Amino acid sequence: MKKYFIYTIVLAAFLLANISCSKDWLDINVDPNNPSSSVAPVSSRLPWIQHHYLYAQGTAGARAGFITQMLTYTYGTATHSMSAGWNPVAGVSTTPYQFFFVASAANLKDLEEKAMEEEAWHYVGAAKAIRALGFMLMVDWYGEMPYTEALGEAITPVFDDGKTIFEGCLQDIDEAIEYFNREQSVLATPLDKGDSWNNGDVNKWIKMCYGLKARWLNNLSKKTSIYDADEILSVLEKAPQSNADNTVIKHVDVAGDNVGDVLFSDPLMASIVFSNVGMNVNTLVTKWYEDLLVNFDGKTIEDPRANKLIPMAQFGTSKEYVRSKGVDMQSNIRMNNGPIVASYNAT
């Protein structure tokens, strides 16, 4: 009996020693549905960074459509209506900034560091590419803004000029291409586990990066002496050459998509551009934009994309599809409480 008693004491002491030296058993209490920045895997980080960058890009594009008079809005005090009337509300330009910085860019550093740890080079490439995309959007949208200190610990980051941001984006896109060309560790998370844009197709990412670089370099036309058409053509040879090379981001419009985005509670699966300008009767094309598509330069030259870009609806007893007419913004329509909501013959 004494012998067994000694064994019991020794075993108990051994178990207590192990428990006191380690708290790994507490790991079971990490909620996988609410991961912290220290445990969230790269495959969970990337798709949300992609989603919120697209929200920033889509919102900027939709609002730019009203500002540039491609689109207009029914008369009223709604944000889009005020923009269409060149009397924008104070916050009209902040949403692209919010979604890029708060929900996308703020997570890039963690994604990159986590990917570096496991030698998941393709995730590093994706982080570099989205950083370049986001800041190029920011410099186009705002001009001078924080860049070099934007994603650090500075509470009041310094503002950088457009040249600094532009050159930084070109450097990031070059680094993205470099990382996409690396071979990942066999233990690294495959890109297709978290990539919502190209389903892990690295070649599409590389071609997309070269296409972006060519577009950005071409923006220097008539702006600087370093514009180099030959370099742009060289870069284009490595960019998408056909529709098969394209990065196609699919969206769906379903009634049950009511989970809500973390910032604006908008549908998660729908295109933000569609949500902004395509799903209501208040947004209208302008005559100026219609003429660009169906009567370019007054020569009755029609753009083959016209039927896709100009809204259509069934009209009359024959249920014939008819294009919407553009609103003439050079008229006094807004001075007379117009334009009004479109209506259709439902019989």
Per-residue pLDDT of the chain (347 residues; tens, 9 = 90+): 555 444 554 445 544 445 445 455 455 566 666 767 778 899 999 999 999 999 999 999 988 998 888 999 888 888 888 888 888 887 788 889 999 999 899 999 999 999 999 999 999 999 999 999 999 999 999 999 999 999 988 999 999 999 999 999 999 999 999 999 999 999 999 999 999 999 999 999 999 999 999 999 999 988 877 899 999 999 999 999 999 999 999 888 787 776 767 677 777 888 888 877 877 788 889 999 999 999 988 888 899 999 988 988 777 767 788 888 899 988 998 888 888 886 655 55
Q: What is the pLDDT of residue 35?
A: 65
Q: What is the pLDDT of residue 213?
A: 98
At residue 40, what are phi and psi to the nearest 5 degrees?
-65, 125
Compute CA 299 distance to the chain's CA centroid, rounded to the nearest angstrom.
37
Q: Which domains does the chain have, with CATH numbers?
A: 42-283 (1.25.40.390), 287-326 (no CATH)
To 10 degrees, the CA torsion angle through 65, 66, 69, 74? 130
User: What is the C-alpha separation between 336 and 53, in angstroms, rounded?
Assistant: 39
Q: What is the pLDDT of residue 318?
A: 75
Q: What is the pLDDT of residue 16?
A: 47
CA proximity to 210, closest of 183, 179, 170: 170
User: What is the C-alpha separation between 131 and 138, in angstroms, rounded?
Assistant: 10
Reported pTM = 0.84
In the chain, the DSSP E strands lie at: 71-73, 145-146, 159-160, 283-285, 312-315, 320-323
Q: What is the pLDDT of residue 104?
A: 95
Other residues' Cβ atoms within 10 Å of the Cβ of residue 278: 13
Q: Find all residues with CB under 8 Å of 336, minimum gap 6, and list them.
A: none
Q: What is the pLDDT of residue 11?
A: 47
